[in-house]
Structure 1
Amino acid sequence: MGKADFFSPKAISNRIKSKGLQKLRWYCQMCQKQCRDENGFKCHCMSESHQRQLLLASESPHKFMDFFSNEFKTGFLDLLRRRFGTKRVHNNIVYNEYISDREHIHMNATRWETLTVFTKWLGRQGLCKVDETPKGWYIEYIDRDPETLRRQEELAKRKKHELDDVERSAKFIEDQVRRGLSTKEEEEDPVYTELQRENEEEKIAFNMASGASSAGPSTSSSLAASSALKKASSSVKRKDTSSASESRDKKKKSALEQIIESEERMRQKQQPVRTDNWLQPDIVVKVVTKRLGEKYHKKKAVVMEVLEKYTAVVKMVDSGDKLKLDQNHVETVIPAPGKRVMILNGNQRDTEAVLEGIDEKNFCASLTLDSGPQKGKRVEVAYEDFSKLA
């Protein structure tokens, strides 16, 4: 019976059958030929080409086995590197994807009998990190690519640089603490003095009789002396308690705490008073929301009225349309130097000024106050804290 034509139904069905994976027991690794049934595999084993391949393999069996083992290892590791990278994955998942290729090298032609033996060998060779779990063996590829190693070195240098910055800041704080301890004034110890009488010749007498009818000069002098003694003792006690409390307060606060408190006080003095709402009537703003369409986006408008601090009724400069917008839907407008502006936030809030210049690096502008008690003063104000006057 002659061979079927290439476009005949039988030839087409044979090609369709041979596309997918077939049974491994009917595959000859030496000849790299897959048979569809047992009869075909038997005929192949009896063929002259197969016998010739067996003779070649019998001359140097280790050479062929090493070749197949190397090909299997290379293909398996390439798939693991490309598909999973350095992620931890089950070895059976990688093997199933590897054998899905019809032209793969079968494991029964290599030096490894099972996938577990191959996984352990990868761990011993340092090619992968392997660990055994109740669910099976997991592997993780070790990337030794020069580019990857270079990126890892750069990342390590960056982390070391960050640690150096932390150590530098810690050393700076230690220097500040040492400087504060050296310049700290010594605590003054309370001075205790003896109680002395002004007139040593005068004698102090106490009259213990409560029902004495006569009280002479001795009685009056004794009363005066006793009252003076009580006042002196109370004043000494007050001094002792006050000095003790002051020394206790001084001992409670360390030098670092005092430095932090002083810096906080200076920061509070320098920090301007700011509020969440900045909308003011008669200022020019720019519409930044896209919900109203391209007709109003990036267009300028004049604030006509402010409602409930955060809402404003604006009039578009181009079309004259009136809109009700939220504070987040608009932004301030920076005019040309020499134009009048309104300060909307900070210590000079609600103050009119003249724009003198713009500092693009610090995102602020130099303004000369044109109203208020500080008229004529020059201040630096951020972009978002002032806007053009209508």
Structure 2
Amino acid sequence: MGKAEKGTPKYLANKMKAKGLQKLRWYCQMCEKQCRDENGFKCHTMSESHQRQLLLFADSPGKFLYSFSKEFSDGYMELLRRRFGTKRVNANKVYQEYISAKDHIHMNATRWLTLSDYVKWLGRSGQIIADETEKGWYVSYIDRSPDALERQSKMERKEKMEKDDEERMLAFVEKQIEKAKCTTNQESTECIEKFTELKRDESQPLKLDIKVVKNVHMENTSHKVALNTKHFKMDTTIKNNTIQNTKQKSKSDSSTTSALDEIMLLEEQAKERSNRKDYWLHEGIVVKFISKSMGEKYYKEKAVVQSVIDKYRAKIKFLESGEKLKVDQAHLETVIPALNKNVLVVNGGYRGFEGVLRELDEGNYCVSVEIATGPLQGRIVKNLKYEDISKLHS
């Protein structure tokens, strides 16, 4: 039976049914497909795409179970944080709002059997405050987000800086007071002097001590010679000081250049440490499927990443066949294009930058990339590993 034509009552009825929530027993979590009835679900389970997803699940069931549980927990906690904040609320009320979205993760796909088990786990892990009442479990969110912790640390640093400024001002004022006290004590001691009266014996005669200065011209010439020798000595000392200053400046310039190189090297190392992650998937890159779990048909076939799920998984589309899969990054590897082609740095210090492949060092498995976007446009980054870059899908 074919599909209903657009505009017909049957077409509109099908659209209205597809909008609302359907029965959970006819939903396939691996394929994220909702069937309307038992016959449709049976046809879906017999399809080739469903069988491929089951093969992937059988290859690593723990990873899929962990990813589904984490996605469910992240969505539930995000709704609790945004919708209710730190208020005390019924856990079932939050769950009903969470499952009202059509594309949510069902609890049947997680490692928790009931909502009570999930709430108890959240309470034991310290993410919420949970208490059980006659009406069920009540939860309240504990805000330990990086933004809240950063705000708290900023407030603590601000208070500490204000205290330090007050202490510095008090110390400065105390020093000024002590200095003023010392100056006043010195002035008082200098001013207090013992003066004696001038007394002269009338019996003694007055004497005048008159000296005649001779050879005034000779004394002036000797004084001029002494001044000239002083000026000559001062000129020589000034020259020596300037030479020493120039030497010190040259040394300081070389030390500053070396210090700048060291600072740049430290910044590069810090950038490498902060941006080096254990996940590398990005949207729009070309990857190669390297798993043999699905047979030789897809082995070493190239595909493009359409979307990234939970950092470690992605939805890919094969370039030749056009088929779509949801796979883990362990089944994929990066693709190195030809020279002068666009690439994306997927890991390391320049993670997320687009560039152009300029050089290829096959002996050391490294490449050189010229950054094409952002503030570092035009910079050539060398010695990037093969697994740190991948071809961009045009």
The TM-score with structure 1 as length reference comes to 0.38
Rg larger in 1 or in 2?
Answer: 1
Structure scoring higher RCO (CA < 8 A, sep ≥ 6) equals 2
TM-score normalised to structure 2 length: 0.38
